[in-house]
Amino acid sequence: MKIGIVLYPTFGGSGVVATELGIALANRGCEVHFITYKQPVRLDLLTKNVYYHEVFVEEYPLFHYQPYELALSTKLVEIAERYNLDLLHVHYAIPHAYAAYMAQKMLMEKGKFLPFVTTLHGTDITLVGSHPSYKTAVEFSINNSDAVTAVSDSLREDTLRLFDIHKDINVIYNFIDVNKYPLIEADECDRSLLADENERIITHVSNFRPVKRVEDVVKIFEKIQKKIPAKLLLVGDGPQREKIDILCKKMGIKDKVIFLGNSNEVNKILCYSDLFLLPSQTESFGLAALEAMAARTPVISSNSGGLPEVNLHGITGFLSNVGNIDEMANNAIAILKDDAVLEDFKNRAKSHSQKFTLEQILPQYIAVYENILKEKIM
């Protein structure tokens, strides 16, 4: 099968899922063409069966906004023809599903039918997609996709509530590649690099956007460290990082907070962690929480969106209403204060993460592809 994958190439979860899915398909013999504006961060170009095609947007002084979707759909047509693609899989509806639809129409004029699958990831529906500036076009491109998937039941429900959808939406959960999370013995993980021997290590990974509520992360940590010696690792970068730095200074905890910036080694960082914090305003799935659990790290999160489908209350961590900092801090302390309790949460987090492995999820995507290709022939 020859598949074009359209994605955001950044550290965000949708790009990570799209990249890892593409690599897994390539490892199983598919020819995979990644099409986006920059090399995806988790993509190693020296992978067999993998191609990367950069979308270049010609700048012109008349344009206040550069017409990315136009350049993308042009590139999709070019690659589909040159490599005789069988289908496109676009991750994140805006503007990828719209560009895929346009490419499909242009190719049809040339006598080629190129079906496309749209995977909805979250903010393309909840925060951004349903905004009046985009809603009509997003709804149109979802309804005109040949197949639609969403990364959680919650996101499927949100899509049906916010848009007028007359297309089946197939829920296919996000996944982890278990090979990236081998069981690391405590003595192999040199925690002394980051914390004193008696300190717990608490981690948060995100794009530092307001939706992630990183201020809550700092406030929860401030309460925890009053009761339990601890360090906070902040991984990622984004518009709120500066503000968070200032907040840490103001709260007098700067020396206990380590900013690690964007990293390609989140799996290794998580091996040092005792607890993961994800108090997001909204989260369609929470891939970062799943990655933490795969690295034996329990999760304290909000109960918004798809998080209850990933983090099990009282089993792999705890869920609280958005903004309930006191409850999140108390639950964190309950997990961290006792070695045996912490060990139980770690084991259960790891065990639950095994329900979301690549081996279980990949066949579900392949079935979607086979289905639309079958319809194409009929």
Binding site for ligand GMT (CB under 6 A): 8, 12-15, 17, 121-123, 151, 174, 211, 282-287, 305
Bridge partners of 123, per DSSP, are: none
Q: Nearest approach, Cβ of 11 to ligand GMT (angstroms)?
A: 8
Q: What φ, ψ does residue 83 adopt, rounded to 5°?
A: -105, 5
CB of 349 to ligand GMT, least distance (A): 17
Q: Which is nearer to ligand GMT, 55 or 120 (CB)?
A: 120
Q: Cβ of residue 275: shortest distance to ligand GMT, in angstroms?
A: 19
Tell me how far apart the alpha carbons of residues 316 and 319 are, in angstroms, rounded to a whole number. 10
Least separation in angstroms between residue 363's CB and ligand GMT is 19
Q: Shortest CA distance to 305 belongs to which of 289, 325, 327?
A: 289
Sequential DSSP letters for 143-154: HTSSEEEESSHH
* Shortest distance (Å) from residue 48 CB to ligand GMT: 26
Query: What is the smallest separation between the CB atom of 250 and ligand GMT, expressed in angstroms?
Result: 27
Q: Which CB atom, from 253 or from 290, has the smaller least distance to ligand GMT?
A: 290
Q: Which is nearer to ligand GMT, 7 or 336 (CB)?
A: 7
Nearest residue to 183 via CA among 31, 353, 29, 334: 353
CA–chain centroid gap for 181, Å, is 17
Choice between 228 and 279, CB closer to ligand GMT: 279
- Which of 4/236 has CB closer to ligand GMT? 236
Torsion angles phi and psi, residue 199, rounded to 5: -95, 140
Query: Least distance from C-beta 14 to ligand GMT, angstroms?
Result: 3
Smallest separation, CB 355 to ligand GMT (Å) = 16
Q: Which of 21, 3, 15 is nearest to 360 (CA)?
A: 21
- Specify the residue, 151 or 228, whose C-beta has the smaller distance to ligand GMT: 151
User: How far apart are alpha carbons 117 and 119 in whole angstroms?
Assistant: 7
Of 19 and 123, CB closest to ligand GMT: 123
Residue-wise DSSP of 323-355: T-HHHHHHHHHHHHS-HHHHHHHHHHHHHHHGG
The two tokens of residue 326 are 């006191």
Question: Based on CB atoms, which residue is closest to ligand GMT, 91 or 256?
Answer: 91
Query: Helix axis angle, 339-353 relative to 287-294, nearest 10°?
Result: 120
CA dist 277 and 300 (Å) reads 5
Answer positive or negative: Cα dihedral of 182, 183, 189, 194: positive
